[in-house]
Structure 1
Amino acid sequence: MRISAAQRTENENRIRAAMDRLLRGQMPPGGKCDIKTLASEAAVDRTAFYGSHPYAHLRTEFERRVQALQDVGEIPDPREAQITRLKAEITKLRDRLAKSEQTIDELTDFRTQALARIAAQHEEIVRLREAALGTSRVSRLPAPRTTVIGTCS
Structure 2
Amino acid sequence: MDRLLRGEIPPGGNCDIKTLAREAGVDRTAFYGNRPYTHLRTEFEDRLRLLQQTGQTPDPRVAQIARLKADIDNLKERISQADQKIAELTDFRGQALARLAAQHDEIVRLREIAAGASQVIRLLPTNRSKTIGPC
Aligned with 1:32: secondary structure? coil
- Whether the aligned pair in 2 keeps the contact of 1:132 and 1:138 (CA below 8 Å) is no
Q: CA deviation at 1:31?
A: 0.4
The answer on 1:51 being equivalent to 2:33 is: yes
The answer on 1:38 being equivalent to 2:38 is: no
Q: CA deviation at 1:138?
A: 6.7
Aligned with 2:9: secondary structure? coil
Cα distance in 1 for partners of 2:28, 2:53 equals 26
Alignment of 1:105-116 (within 5 A): 105-116=87-98
Alignment of 1:62-141 (within 5 A): 62-135=44-117, 136-137=119-120, 139=122
- Superposition TM-score, scaled by structure 1 size: 0.71
Deviation readout 1:82-141 (Å, 9 max, x if unpaired): 222222222222222122111111111110000000111111111122222234347579
- Superposition TM-score, scaled by structure 2 size: 0.80
What root-mean-square deviation, in Å, do the aligned CA atoms of Structure 1 and Structure 2 show? 2.1
Aligned with 2:96: secondary structure? helix
The answer on 1:24 being equivalent to 2:6 is: yes
Cα distance in 2 for partners of 1:104, 1:141 equals 55
Aligned with 1:30: secondary structure? coil
Cα distance in 1 for partners of 2:123, 2:47 equals 93
Cα distance in 2 for partners of 1:74, 1:118 equals 61
Q: CA deviation at 1:27?
A: 0.5
Cα distance in 2 for partners of 1:140, 1:21 equals 103
| Larger RCO of the pair (alpha carbons < 8 Å, separation 6+) | 2
Percent identity between the two aligned chains: 67
Aligned residue pairs total 124
- Whether the aligned pair in 2 keeps the contact of 1:32 and 1:77 (CA below 8 Å) is yes
Aligned with 1:76: secondary structure? coil
Structure 2: any 5+ residue segments left out of the alignment? 126-135
133-142 vs 40-49, which deviates more? 133-142
